[in-house]
Every structure is written in structure tokens, then in C-alpha cells.
Homo-oligomer: A and B are copies of this chain.
Amino acid sequence: MGDPFFHPVSGFDLPRFAGVPTFMRLPHVSLDDPRIKDVQIGLIGTPWDGGTTNRPGPRHGPRQLRDMSTMIRAQNGATQIRPFELVNCADLGDVAPNPAGLEDSMARITAFYDQVTEAGILPMTAGGDHLCSLPILRALAKDAPLGMIHFDSHTDLFHSYFGGTMYTHGTPFRRAIEEELLDPKRVVQIGIRGTTYDSEDRDFAQNVGVRIIPIEEFHARGVDDVMAEAKEIAGHGKTYVSYDIDFVDPAYAPGTGTPEVGGPNSFQAIQVARMLDGVNIVGADLVEVSPPFDTAGATAFLGASIMFEMLCNMAQNLASD
């Protein structure tokens, strides 16, 4: 049943609206806390949106995700998995970004995740904008490129913005492929849609072998079929999962800076995460939740629900090793 220290506080003991809000009511274990050596999955906030080209806000994401995650209970209602009894999970706190320093912030994120990986902890990240994924991958893919299953309405594969700016939330995976942090042949992007500046990103994807599944194909084929292909692309190797909340239709996830209409509903949003079972996930993130556009917290609650589904799969994997 696992170490009780790592069990979340039950809503039967302390009502879910009460208490200092940590991710899923888990214990807060800092990197310098001796108990860090027992942590297997670490939930981490990267409160930074320095790469955002339009409407800012994801820097506030981790706090709101913590808040709404207090509504998550101990057991997955569909799969009956009880992740917090399978492995030791903890809230590792937030990386300290520099809101006025883009490269400094990226270096701080990589340094934090270096410590996490050195401690043998699998990171589950709550962003932050999508540029956060790049410095995380720099820590996680030190040894070899990773595969990636990527849910999003945008490819984030653009070359540059604003006359040559290389680091924005529209470019992280272009950089990650150039830096050989990702193996493009093991990368799949699901849900792509919306208007575009041009086709430069899709041309790049085609050239390097990234598989793009646009939303029209997603709706036509259905979740089961799409996810089967995605898992085949990722294969058995180490895989990163990056989940941009704008993958989901804005009716379900209004709290984000660059929404695109016509996306999946919340049941599908959960299903795709649940169907990651068996994938060799070495890290995952849920990014682009923007509280200033999410006044009622619905987006953060959906985000926390998706994080829980991914966590169940990661915990199941670890426990079955």
C-alpha cells in the first residue's frame, strides 16, 4: 500500500477546500529535504510564460492547478488504479524563474530538472507556457533523444518569430529536434488545427519525419485508432508526453492564451491520456493553463484531471517494473 507519508490527505479527514494546497494534496518535499530520496514521481511547477507571444498568464498555472487538484481523490473511477499507493509521489514545489530573463529562466529550469533526474525521480510538470518543455527536455534527454507524444492544436515547430527570435512557445520542439533531444521519427503530434501563418512548420515536420495528425483526421478516425498509431510511433523507447491544454476545445478549456476552436471534448481529452498505458513515459507535462482567462477554474480542473490520468499510467508502469 506504499509509504503512508506519501498518501494524499483524504477529503474525509480534511475537507477538500481546506488546507495548504499542494498538488493533489501530496506532501511538499523540497529538493533539499531528506525524504526526496524516496520520491518516485515528482510533481513540479514551472511558473513561467516568458515565451508567450500573445496573451500571457501561464506563469500563474501551477498555483491554480494545485488549487483545483485538491478535488482529485485517491482512486481512478474508471481503471480503479490508486497511484499514490503504487508509488511514492510528492509535490517538489516550483522552479524559480526569472520573469524578466528568458535565457536565465531556461537555465534555471534545466538545472532544477537535472537534480530531479539525478535523484531518479520521474517528473510530472505543471506549466508554464510551452517553451518550458525545452529546458526540461535538455535535462531529460541528456543521454539520447526521446520519443514524444504531443497533444496540441499547434505544432510548436516554427523556426523563429519577430524577425529572428528563436525561443518562444511556438518553437520549442524545433529547437529540441535541432538539439537532438527528440527523435523526430518517434514524435507524433495530435490535434493540430486553426489558422496558420504559413506551412513552414508542417514542411519541417514532413522533412524530419514528425507525424502530424490534424484534428479533422482525429475526429474522422476516432480516439482508439489514433492512439493506437501514436503508441506505435513512440514505440518501446523512452518517451516524453507533452500535453498543451489548448489541444482541448476552448469550450472545455477556456483558460489558455492561444485557443483554437473545433477541438476534442473533455471525455476525449481524458481518454487519450488514459490510453497512454504501457508507454514508457520518462516525463510528462501539462502546459498553457492560463488562470487570468480561466476565472471559474474549469480549465485547471480539467488539467488536473488529465495530470491524474497520466500519473496513473506512470505509476502503473513503475509499479509493474
A309 to chain B, nearest CB (A): 10
CB atoms of A99 and B15 under 8 A apart: yes
Known: A15-B99, A251-B266, A301-B259. A56 touches B53 (CB 8 A): no
Residue among A51, A265, A293, A305 facing the most chain B CB atoms (10 A cut-off): A265
Known: A20-B22, A161-B12, A199-B75. A292 touches B57 (CB 8 A): yes
**Neighbouring B residues of A53 by C-beta, 8 Å:** 11, 15-16, 99-100
CB atoms of A20 and B66 under 8 A apart: yes
Mask: chain A, 259-284; 1 = CB below 8 Å from B; 0 = not: 10111011101100000000000000
Mask: chain A, 5-18; 1 = CB below 8 Å from B; 0 = not: 00000111111111
Assess whether A137 is interfacial by the CB under 8 Å rule.
no
Assess whether A118 is interfacial by the CB under 8 Å rule.
no
**Secondary structure call for the A interface:** loop
Assess whether A115 is interfacial by the CB under 8 Å rule.
no
CB atoms of B196 and A305 under 8 A apart: no
| Interchain CA distance A319-B276 in the complex, whole Å | 46
| Interchain CA distance A161-B100 in the complex, whole Å | 9
Number of copies of this chain that the complex holds: 6
| Cβ contact of A293, chosen from B93, B194, B296, cutoff 8 A | B296
> Among the listed stretches A144-152, A162-170, A175-183, which one makes contact with chain B, having 4 or more residues with CB under 8 Å of it?
A162-170
Assess whether A134 is interfacial by the CB under 8 Å rule.
no
**Neighbouring B residues of A93 by C-beta, 8 Å:** 19-20
CB atoms of A219 and B267 under 8 A apart: yes
Nearest to A47 among chain B residues (CB) is B18
CB atoms of A18 and B75 under 8 A apart: no
CB atoms of B74 and A195 under 8 A apart: yes
CB atoms of A18 and B77 under 8 A apart: no
| Cβ contact of A104, chosen from B21, B77, B104, B165, cutoff 8 A | B165
CB atoms of A270 and B261 under 8 A apart: yes
**Neighbouring B residues of A196 by C-beta, 8 Å:** 73-75, 77
| Interchain CA distance A47-B11 in the complex, whole Å | 13
Assess whether A215 is interfacial by the CB under 8 Å rule.
yes
A266 to chain B, nearest CB (A): 4
Assess whether A233 is interfacial by the CB under 8 Å rule.
no
| Cβ contact of A54, chosen from B13, B16, B96, cutoff 8 A | B16
| Interchain CA distance A197-B265 in the complex, whole Å | 25
**Neighbouring B residues of A254 by C-beta, 8 Å:** 296, 298
CB atoms of A56 and B54 under 8 A apart: no
CB atoms of B266 and A250 under 8 A apart: yes
| Interchain CA distance A196-B161 in the complex, whole Å | 37
Residue among A78, A192, A308 facing the most chain B CB atoms (10 A cut-off): A78
Report, nearest first, the 5 A-B pairs whose CB atoms are least far apart. A292-B292, A56-B56, A73-B195, A262-B267, A261-B266
Since A18-B47, A73-B197, A74-B196 are in contact, a sample of 20 more A-B pairs with Cβ atoms closer than 8 Å, ordered by chain A residue number, is A12-B162, A13-B162, A16-B53, A18-B97, A20-B20, A20-B22, A56-B56, A56-B59, A77-B193, A77-B214, A195-B308, A249-B267, A250-B252, A250-B298, A250-B301, A251-B266, A251-B298, A262-B305, A265-B265, A295-B296
